């Protein structure tokens, strides 16, 4: 899938920006604090309705302005579509598909698909489990609408159940009240678990290939389910069984959960285990090895999108030249021949490191984008 | 700063407490009440007072009524063997408007929701249970709570409560359906997958 046209109004430091995109590879050069990351943020927001850097959408509205408007025209297997958001200072998001206001934000998620790679992403290995869960959720939510709705229902159930657990310490909760929540927790929980687990099977394969090519090492990635343990190849078709297993586990741990005041099992407590040469990468890997794994996981996510949807997502690469050494960068740039449309940013000093055949180059300065003539 | 009179200010404040009425709308409504014919304003005041004093809950199903029993419970032509459980009175009216249902109701006071401090004992469930215990005519209970997380939890809880009574009762949940006349393309995936899993044989 490819973007043909992008429009930003009062978004971050952009006042009014219109950008026609004609090529697959697009490189944005500029000094610090000129709006390079902001541009990628807008594209990612159009795909996921979330910002990679803030949870309060209102921050993205240009200072002193009431609302921001962003939209993009895209072309893909589903034809030509225009996705857009109007974002209020108060964080309210109005989603537009082909200029028609949609009822739910979720209806827009995944119409445009994108994978984001930025310097902070080392947290994917070094950070806590929630970083790795978000990585999976961001991908899966774009690929299936049902995943996103199940995830938000699931999160609501967990919140309700945790509240009930807190109340139970003062002894005013009948035990059968938990069952009403446990059943839904188990239903949505096992669906999410299986979806993530299936995605990880494929991600693991692609990521292992990538690491083998970059460093020759052996990468292993496994999904760790807190209430279903390690899943086997047939488990995708045993949903009912998995659900009852989850219900039993929840009941078994209810006394402990009551004491803690929160739900200890479920997709919200799961993790992605990453091993290099048999050792947990998070605790034993070098910085370089960890960086390699992050590149590999991001590339793997692009491949997974392709596998599931038949087309590559946009690949948004923020400041990768500063972050990666030559070898990893070259590998990443090599992979770009795969077919994804790429938006890549770099500061001018590092632009020499990025040479891409057939790419368009743009300069980003103080919230304005200009196409540079070829040869620059 | 006080450019409007105290009485007008009070009216705006009271109107502003109504659901989906913001300060601007409240102000416009207040001006209308002041400027329109006296009968219209008095009619409104009277209607508010009368509704408050005359309308009460049906002793049986908790629908609104001005008698002991509501018109649905009093209607002997309705099927006495079926009770439809709804989360609120709005849902009852929605089902009545469809004209498809000819049984009785039980109106809960919302759904269970720990986050909002509502447990099973706060939503008129005991009243449903004692009604089922007392009336042997009831053969089926249809759970028509909202298709939200809370509505589903309420339905599951009610189902378990009824089961534990040990009566020979059929308990069903209304099917999750697609909006009629809507294009399948525009239905969200969860609605679609639920509609598929609760599909009917033809
Ligand atoms: N809501 C906002 N309104 C106006 N300007 C903003 C807003 N949010 C951020 N900015 C400005 O945007 C600029 C940062 O832009 P951005 O993060 O895209 O920089 P960059 O070009 O990626 O720089 P670097 O190379 O340092 O990463 C800063 O000058 C910041 O003050
Ligand atoms: Mg930046
Ligand atoms: Zn009644």
ipTM of the prediction: 0.83
Best mutation target, B121, B159, B189, to test chain A (most A CBs within 10 A) = B189
- Give the residues surrounding ligand 1 with Cβ less than 6 Å away: A 12-13, 30, 32-38, 59-63, 319, 347
* pLDDT at site B202: 62
b/e for A251-276, b at 16 or more Cβ within 10 A?
Answer: eebbeebbeeeebebbbbbbbbebbb
* pLDDT at site B189: 67
Minimum CA distance residue for ligand 1 atom 28: A33
Q: Are the Cβ atoms of B188 and A160 closer than 8 angstroms?
A: no
Q: Which domains does chain B have, with CATH numbers?
A: 6-54 (1.10.8.420), 64-201 (3.40.1360.10)
Domain regions of chain A by residue span:
1-113+311-376, 125-309
* pLDDT at site A229: 78
- Kindly report the CA angle at B122 between B116 and B124, in degrees rounded to 5? 135
- Test site for ligand 1: of A9, A11, A14, A33, most ligand atoms within 8 A of the Cβ: A33
* pLDDT at site A321: 79
Q: Which atom of ligand 1 is nearest to the CA of A30?
A: 21
Best mutation target, B122, B126, B153, B186, to test chain A (most A CBs within 10 A) = B153
User: Treating both helix axes as pointing N-terminal to C-terminal, what angle do A129-143 and A287-309 enclose, rounded to 10 degrees?
Assistant: 20
- Test site for ligand 1: of A17, A27, A30, A36, most ligand atoms within 8 A of the Cβ: A36
CATH number for the domain running over A125-309: 1.20.1050.90
Could you tell me the two tokens for A3? 């973007």
Q: How confident is the model at residue B199 (pLDDT cuts 50, 70, 90)?
A: low
C-alpha span between A341 and A80 (Å, rounded): 16
* pLDDT at site B1: 46
Minimum CA distance residue for ligand 1 atom 7: A12
Chain A residues closer than 8 Å to B115 by CB: 159-160, 163
Q: Name the residue with higher pLDDT: B178 or A198.
A: A198
- Kindly report the CA angle at A54 between A335 and A61, in degrees rounded to 5? 105
Tens-of-pLDDT digits for all 376 residues of chain A?
999 999 999 999 999 999 999 999 999 999 999 999 999 999 999 999 999 999 999 999 999 999 999 999 999 999 999 999 999 999 999 999 999 999 999 999 999 999 999 888 899 999 999 999 999 999 999 999 889 999 999 999 999 999 999 988 877 787 789 999 999 999 999 999 999 999 999 999 999 999 998 889 999 999 999 987 777 777 777 888 889 999 999 999 999 999 999 999 999 999 999 999 999 999 999 998 999 999 999 999 999 999 999 999 999 999 987 777 888 887 877 777 778 999 999 987 666 666 677 889 999 999 999 999 765 4
- Kindly report the CA angle at A290 between A286 and A291, in degrees rounded to 5? 115
Q: Are the Cβ atoms of A160 and B153 closer than 8 angstroms?
A: yes
* pLDDT at site A230: 78
Q: Are the Cβ atoms of A160 and B149 closer than 8 angstroms?
A: yes
Q: How confident is the model at residue B134 (pLDDT cuts 50, 70, 90)?
A: confident
* pLDDT at site B80: 94
Residue B177 pLDDT greater than 90, yes or no = no
The torsion defined by the Cα of B159, B165, B166 and B170, in degrees rounded to 10, comes to -40
Chain A residues closer than 8 Å to B187 by CB: none
The torsion defined by the Cα of A253, A254, A255 and A256, in degrees rounded to 10, comes to 50
Min mean pLDDT across A354-358, B18-22, B111-115, B141-145 is at A354-358
Q: How confident is the model at residue B186 (pLDDT cuts 50, 70, 90)?
A: low
CATH number for the domain running over A1-113+311-376: 3.40.50.300
Q: What is the DSSP letter of A13?
A: T
* pLDDT at site A110: 95
């Amino acid at each position: 899938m490819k973007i043909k046209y992008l429009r930003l109004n009062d978004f971050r430091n952009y006042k009014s920006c219109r950008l026609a995109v004609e090529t697959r590879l697009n490189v944005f050069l500029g000094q610090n604090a000129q709006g390079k990351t902001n541009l990628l943020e807008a594209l990612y927001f159009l795909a996921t309705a979330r910002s990679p850097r803030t949870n309060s959408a209102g921050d993205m509205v240009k200072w002193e302005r009431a609302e921001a408007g962003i939209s993009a025209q895209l072309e893909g297997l589903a034809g030509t579509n225009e996705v857009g958001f109007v974002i209020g200072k108060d964080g309210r998001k109005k989603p537009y598909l082909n200029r028609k206001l949609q009822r739910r934000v979720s209806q827009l998620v995944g119409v445009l698909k994108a994978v984001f790679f930025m310097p902070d992403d080392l947290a994917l290995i070094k950070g806590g489990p929630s970083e790795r869960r978000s990585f999976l959720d961001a991908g899966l939510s774009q690929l299936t609408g049902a995943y996103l709705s199940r995830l938000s229902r699931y999160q609501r159930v967990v919140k309700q159940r945790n509240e009930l657990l807190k109340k139970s310490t003062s002894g005013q909760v009948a035990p059968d009240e938990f069952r009403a929540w446990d059943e839904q927790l188990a239903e949505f929980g096992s669906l999410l678990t299986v979806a993530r687990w299936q995605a990880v099977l494929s991600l693991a394969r692609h990521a292992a290939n990538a690491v083998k090519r970059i460093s020759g090492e052996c990468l292993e990635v496994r999904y760790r389910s807190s209430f279903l343990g390690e899943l086997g190849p047939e488990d995708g078709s045993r949903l009912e069984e998995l659900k009852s297993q989850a219900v039993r586990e929840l009941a078994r741990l209810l006394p402990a959960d009551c004491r803690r005041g929160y739900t200890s099992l479920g997709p919200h407590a799961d993790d992605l285990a990453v091993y290099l040469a048999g050792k947990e990468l998070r605790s034993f890997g070098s910085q370089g090895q960890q960086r390699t794994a992050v590149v590999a996981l991001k590339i793997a996510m692009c491949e997974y999108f392709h596998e599931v949807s038949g087309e590559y997502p946009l690949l948004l690469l923020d400041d990768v030249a500063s972050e990666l050494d030559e070898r990893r960068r070259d590998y990443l740039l090599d992979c770009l021949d795969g077919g994804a449309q790429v938006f890549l940013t770099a500061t001018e000093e590092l632009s020499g490191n990025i040479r891409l055949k057939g790419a368009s180059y743009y300069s980003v300065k103080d919230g304005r984008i200009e196409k540079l003539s070829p040869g620059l | 700063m006080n450019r409007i009179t105290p009485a007008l200010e009070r009216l705006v404040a009271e109107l502003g407490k109504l659901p989906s009425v913001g300060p601007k709308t409240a102000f416009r409504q207040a001006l209308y009440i002041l400027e329109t014919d006296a009968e219209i304003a008095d009619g409104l005041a009277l209607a508010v007072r009368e509704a408050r004093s005359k309308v009460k809950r049906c002793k049986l199903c908790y629908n609104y009524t001005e008698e002991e029993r509501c018109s649905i419970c009093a209607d002997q032509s309705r099927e006495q063997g079926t009770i439809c459980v709804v989360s609120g009175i709005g849902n009852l009216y929605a089902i009545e408007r469809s004209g498809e249902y000819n049984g009785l109701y039980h109106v809960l006071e919302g759904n269970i929701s720990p986050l909002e401090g509502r447990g099973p004992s706060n939503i008129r469930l005991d009243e449903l249970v004692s009604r089922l215990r007392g009336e042997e005519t009831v053969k089926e209970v249809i759970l028509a709570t909202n298709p939200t997380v809370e509505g589903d939890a309420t339905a599951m809880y009610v189902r378990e409560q009824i089961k534990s009574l040990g009566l020979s009762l059929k308990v069903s949940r209304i099917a999750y359906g697609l909006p009629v006349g809507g294009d399948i393309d525009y239905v969200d995936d969860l609605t679609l997958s639920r509609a598929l899993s609760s599909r009917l044989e033809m």
